[in-house]
Amino acid sequence: MLVIVCYDVSTATREGRRRLRRVCESTGQRVQKSVFECRVTLPQMEELERRLLAEVNLEQDCLRLYRLPDMRGCEVREHGTFTATNFDSTLIL
């Protein structure tokens, strides 16, 4: 499934800036400054959500996860210079 992760972490304090760095680490493919696309299974999504909730401060930050369970009928329209990774083709790491 495709999961869209969006967050807004308050960076007014040093701790907020640390939280932001921790949230950004290995969250998926960044498609905007605070938006990531993740191709995951349901257990991986649940683990990702637990990990992110452990990092954010719910009184100061906002975290949203959008689950698109089936790629059939899902359409992503891209405009501008960003080119997403095609996860359905061969990936070379």
- Give SS3 for 77: coil
Look at residue 43 in the predicted model and tell me its pLDDT: 92
Per-residue pLDDT of the chain (93 residues; tens, 9 = 90+): 888 888 888 888 888 888 877 776 666 788 888 888 888 888 988 998 898 888 888 888 888 998 887 666 667 666 676 666 666 665 454
CATH number, domain containing residue 53: 3.30.70.240
User: 64 and 70 in contact (C-beta within 8 Å)?
Assistant: no
Could you tell me the residue range of the domain that residue 39 belongs to? 2-68
- Taking the whole predicted model, whether its pTM rises above 0.85 is answered as no
- Domains of the chain: total: 1
Please report whether residue 39 resides in a domain.
yes
The CA distances from residue 30 to 3, 15, 24, 82, in Å, are: 12, 22, 9, 10
Please report whether residue 23 resides in a domain.
yes
Please report whether residue 10 resides in a domain.
yes
